[in-house]
Amino acid sequence: MNSDIGHWQPGQRQSDVHWLHHHYPPEQTQLAHIPKTRTSPVVTRTKVARYGSQSSTQRPSSSGGEHIMLPYRFAPPRRAESYSHPTPLEEFRSSRRWPPQGYRKDDALTPKQAEEIICPGASTFKGYWDEIEHAPPGYVRYYAVMESEHQGRTDRASFRHTAYRDISLNMTGATDTQFPWLSLEQPCMAFAFGKSAGTTTLNYWVSKSGSTHPPTKFAGSVKPRKLKLLQILDRLRQLENGLEDDPDEQYRYLYSTLIEDPDRYSEKPHFGTEQQIADLITVLTHPSWIDFSQPKNQVVAKFFDSPDQHKKQEFFHQLLLAAELHLRIHSNNRSDKAKRKLILQLPPTIAWDLAVAQRWLENMTITKSRTSHSQSTFSFELTSKNRQKEALRVFAETLKWPNMDELEYVLDEKDPQERPLEDRSADAMSWFSGIILPGKTLPWLIMNSLIDCDRDTGEALKYLTHMHPAAGFQYRANTYWSADCIVGKVLGAARGVKQVAGWIGPCIYSPQLKRTESVRIRQLEPKDPRLTPKDVESMDVRSHPLGPRDTSYPIDDYEVPMADREDVTDLIRVEKLGFQPAKEQPPTRQGAGAPLTFDAAIYFACRGKSWPMRLRYNVDFVNAFPCHQGPHVLFYDFSYKAIKIDGGLVDLNDWDRESGLVSRHRSRGRSASPSKHSSALATTRWSDAAEEEELAHMRVTKVLAIEALGVSDNEVFARAWCAHHGHSAIVANIKETCMACAIREAYAACISVVIFTEGGKEEEKDRGVYDGLAER
């Protein structure tokens, strides 16, 4: 077998707007049976050449008018329409035969036969990587796409309310046509949450290995003209109706009031929109402006509602310049193609300035009232406040908030003695105004706004912040956890637990915490290998359903793996959630009352014994992408070890060695305290990491297939085992994804564990473990 890796061209895009599956050239062979010839074993996965690796393959495009017709001989069989309504796998379990009808075990399939018999409905995965614009060489971003993704066949959780879509921002097109490489925030938060609570998606998992906050080269030296705050607010009010229609008026205001025209005394003043855009970008690259790409600056209300007048004026000055730039970029006389090209080439700080301007213009209006002949006042109207209130209700109801009566009373805003909702905190102002930047702040803004509206929470929960994401809290005998916290990721599998807007709950309470208390969790970086560009770009080749490219495909090279659905244990139960204060508390505590850092553990009861599982590692659980018309067959080289939840899993302690993972990951054993180490990894150049480590896919030679069917506590135990030992996992609901496709997805993602589940039993649905204790 010859490797095709050296011929791949990364960073290319598919021409269709849909997430098309890959095109495989059919071999010109006859359909008759041919003698069996076993394929040679694969020595390393780097040397495997599989279908779908043509260098001409491109990414889906964000524009709707760039279809390219492929030659007929590269067109796949017409079966895409069958995916529009995915059928539950139950209907195909009894009908799947292997060998297929009319074949014997010692037969072999031609490439065309193999494509038609093995591939239909099987999940396929393709990875891409890009060099980051304006960053030094070696800083890259990764993405993964799946074949035939649509609303009915996806690994992503749906947004329960339109307001939650603000967690992501596609600045080059409509928000409902989200491509992960077009989002401002990276990784793309539209892919952050999987369909099952506590899970993420393959794209988000892959993207986390890329560089999220690379250094940039831009630093301008030009400053704008000085303005008074009232002048700034008056101009922002005018811009709500757009720029002036007359180009001369646009020029006059911009260069007489806001900035200098460097060529104003020459024969070519900057009347052109492109020149004005360039001048505004130059001014906004000055390092004195607020850098909204930094997470610490992404609660925008801390600036526009600041008691510090200087801080407030600086923000509005920057906002005005960004709004002028935003409206010029999106003017009607510029083509959509030109807009997209420019936006994708902007320095990161400028792109985030545009995001602030866009969210402001969409959600806020300014009213000017004259109080006397020489004085005026300005007031702000939150145009999206009612939408944000309704979204907060949905959030609280989904999490079964224990004090809904209080919340409804406050949201009605009928009591004149109550403070306005938006005036309760900077987070509440950000949430109810809708001035929310994409990224990780939205979950914390909505949760803190909920807490602000419930007076019974007191002062104990005021320290929740996106700067410390490994956190949660206990309130009235329920616990609630951030989706970035390992406790929430594990307990997301428990019965009655939901995931909404980046929060997971209501979860089991802990007797070791106070009735109302917020906590931070000490976590270690997981043992998973860090992906490199070669791992990402070879994803489709390494995980193709047919295995390596060959002239024939022996039937005996494939099997139909099936989980045992008859002999399922019902004996494991979550016993308690335990917390132990860490011996070393971080020095940056915010004074008396600030949350402590804890080590977390879950205790399980089984056959009279107590099995403690420490939630030590901040692993991820990737929701398996649904397949269609499974179960599918699995090529023999995708090695796996099946184990039942009560079949010795608790005693399996060395899976990192058995799976091929060795103790060479440079972050292993380091504390993943809230944000520091993870952000350090995120800014690492892949070339630096590659010098120390071999390719990630060469370190995963076997996958552990944990059968956690039956009650929800079985899946909780499987997830807790992963968190205890440091292994991320694919989580596959066998009602949607067959074993073969889930195992191949694990190899695609370089993940060494797959958890197979049924999502709990039907009678468990929507029942919390301690629903009856909600009012304690």
470, 493, 511 — which closes off a domain? 511
Could you give the angle at which helices 309-329 and 273-284 cross, rounded to 10 degrees? Answer: 150
Query: Who wins on pLDDT, 495 or 64?
Result: 495
Whether residues 584 and 692 fall in one domain: yes
Q: Is 716 helix (H, G, I), strand (E, B) or coil?
A: helix
Average pLDDT over residues 652-672: 65
CB neighbours of 241 closer than 8 A, spacing ≥ 6? none
Average pLDDT over residues 458-486: 96
pLDDT attached to residue 693: 57
| HSE, side-chain direction, 13 A CA sphere, residue 327 | 19
Q: Is residue 772 over pLDDT 80?
A: no
H/E element holding 142? Answer: strand 140-146
On whether the CB atoms of residues 64 and 17 are closer than 8 A, the answer is yes
* Number of domains making up the chain: 3
Whether residues 478 and 550 fall in one domain: no
Whether residues 26 and 110 fall in one domain: yes
Alpha carbon distance 190, 182 (integer Å)? 11
Q: Is 386 exposed, middle or buried (0-12, 13-18, 19+ CB in 10 A)?
A: exposed
Alpha carbon distance 523, 490 (integer Å)? 13
Query: Who wins on pLDDT, 314 or 31?
Result: 314
pLDDT attached to residue 585: 85
What one-character-per-residue DSSP string does 43-60 give?
A: S-GGG--BTT--TT--PP
338, 361, 381 — which closes off a domain? 381
Long-range contact set of residues 256-260: C-beta below 8 Å, sequence gap at least 24: 257/225, 257/227, 257/231, 258/224, 258/225, 258/227, 258/320, 258/321, 258/324, 259/222, 259/224, 259/225, 259/283, 259/321, 260/222, 260/225
Please indicate, yes or no, if residue 218 is contained in any of the structural domains: no
Q: Which two tokens stand for residue 767?
A: 């029942």
Task: List strand residue ranges (DSSP E) for 413-560, in order.
Answer: 471-475, 478-482, 498-500, 503-507, 516-521, 553-554, 558-559
Alpha carbon distance 444, 638 (integer Å)? 41
pLDDT attached to residue 211: 86
Pairing of strands 516-521, 597-606: parallel
On whether the CB atoms of residues 189 and 355 are closer than 8 A, the answer is no
Of 739, 738, 718, 741, which Cα lies nearest the Cα of 729?
718
Whether residues 504 and 517 fall in one domain: no
Whether residues 676 and 615 fall in one domain: yes
Please indicate, yes or no, if residue 215 is contained in any of the structural domains: no
pLDDT category of residue 497 using cuts at 50, 70 and 90 = very high
Whether residues 620 and 761 fall in one domain: yes
Please indicate, yes or no, if residue 35 is contained in any of the structural domains: yes
pLDDT attached to residue 435: 98
Query: Who wins on pLDDT, 735 or 262?
Result: 735
pLDDT by residue (tens digit) across 671-713?
444 433 333 334 455 554 444 457 988 889 999 999 999 999 9
Query: Who wins on pLDDT, 689 or 293?
Result: 293
Whether residues 14 and 100 fall in one domain: yes
pLDDT attached to residue 609: 86
For 135, 637, 743, the CA distances from 24, given in Å and listed in that order, are 36, 21, 22
Task: List strand residue ranges (DSSP E) for 14-95, in order.
Answer: 34-35
On whether the CB atoms of residues 411 and 393 are closer than 8 A, the answer is yes
pLDDT category of residue 411 using cuts at 50, 70 and 90 = very high
DSSP conformational letter for 492 = T
Q: Is residue 117 over pLDDT 50?
A: yes
Please indicate, yes or no, if residue 431 is contained in any of the structural domains: no
Range of the domain at 316: 229-381
Whether residues 203 and 245 fall in one domain: no
pLDDT attached to residue 306: 95
Whether residues 195 and 290 fall in one domain: no
pLDDT mean across residues, the chain: 83
pLDDT attached to residue 434: 98
Q: Is 289 exposed, middle or buried (0-12, 13-18, 19+ CB in 10 A)?
A: buried
Whether residues 64 and 160 fall in one domain: yes
For 26, 571, 718, 724, the CA distances from 602, given in Å and listed in that order, are 52, 16, 12, 10
Alpha-helical segments (H) within 458-564: 486-491, 533-537, 539-542
Of 679, 686, 728, 724, which Cα lies nearest the Cα of 703?
728
pLDDT by residue (tens digit) across 503-522?
999 999 999 999 999 999 99
Alpha carbon distance 317, 321 (integer Å)? 7
Please indicate, yes or no, if residue 426 is contained in any of the structural domains: no
Average pLDDT over residues 193-217: 91
Total-model pTM: 0.85
Q: Is 492 left (phi over 0), alpha (psi -120 to 50) or beta?
A: alpha
In Å, how far from its chain's centre is CA 765?
26
Please indicate, yes or no, if residue 428 is contained in any of the structural domains: no
On whether the CB atoms of residues 128 and 181 are closer than 8 A, the answer is yes
Long-range contact set of residues 326-331: C-beta below 8 Å, sequence gap at least 24: 326/354, 326/357, 326/358, 326/361, 327/239, 327/242, 327/243, 328/243, 328/273, 328/276, 328/277, 328/280, 329/277, 329/354, 331/243, 331/273
Please indicate, yes or no, if residue 170 is contained in any of the structural domains: yes
pLDDT attached to residue 10: 38
Alpha-helical segments (H) within 266-366: 273-284, 301-304, 309-329, 336-345, 348-363
Q: Is residue 81 over pLDDT 80?
A: no
Angle at the Cα of 456 from the Cα atoms of 452 and 459, rounded to 5 degrees: 65
Average pLDDT over residues 413-437: 96
In Å, how far from its chain's centre is CA 267?
51
Q: Is 325 helix (H, G, I), strand (E, B) or coil?
A: helix
pLDDT attached to residue 271: 82
Q: Which two tokens stand for residue 578?
A: 């335990």
On whether the CB atoms of residues 183 and 190 are closer than 8 A, the answer is yes
pLDDT category of residue 91 using cuts at 50, 70 and 90 = low
Alpha carbon distance 604, 628 (integer Å)? 35
pLDDT by residue (tens digit) across 98-116?
999 999 999 999 999 999 9
> Rounded to a whole number, what is the distance in angstroms from the first to the last CA of the chain?
66
Whether residues 359 and 481 fall in one domain: no
CB atoms < 10 A from the CB of 314, how many?
17
Alpha carbon distance 565, 445 (integer Å)? 43
Place of tokens 């797959």: 754
pLDDT attached to residue 456: 93
Place of tokens 């080059």: 172
Whether residues 516 and 552 fall in one domain: yes
Alpha carbon distance 512, 514 (integer Å)? 7
Q: Is residue 189 over pLDDT 60?
A: yes
Average pLDDT over residues 390-410: 97
511, 526, 559 — which closes off a domain? 511
pLDDT by residue (tens digit) across 329-352?
998 888 888 888 899 889 999 999
What one-character-per-residue DSSP string does 215-243 give?
A: ---------PPP--HHHHHHHHHHHTT-S
Q: Which two tokens stand for residue 427?
A: 């987070």
pLDDT category of residue 1 using cuts at 50, 70 and 90 = very low
Longest dimension (CA), the chain: 98
Alpha-helical segments (H) within 556-604: none
Please indicate, yes or no, if residue 186 is contained in any of the structural domains: yes
On whether the CB atoms of residues 199 and 484 are closer than 8 A, the answer is no
pLDDT category of residue 171 using cuts at 50, 70 and 90 = confident
At 710, the amino acid letter reads G
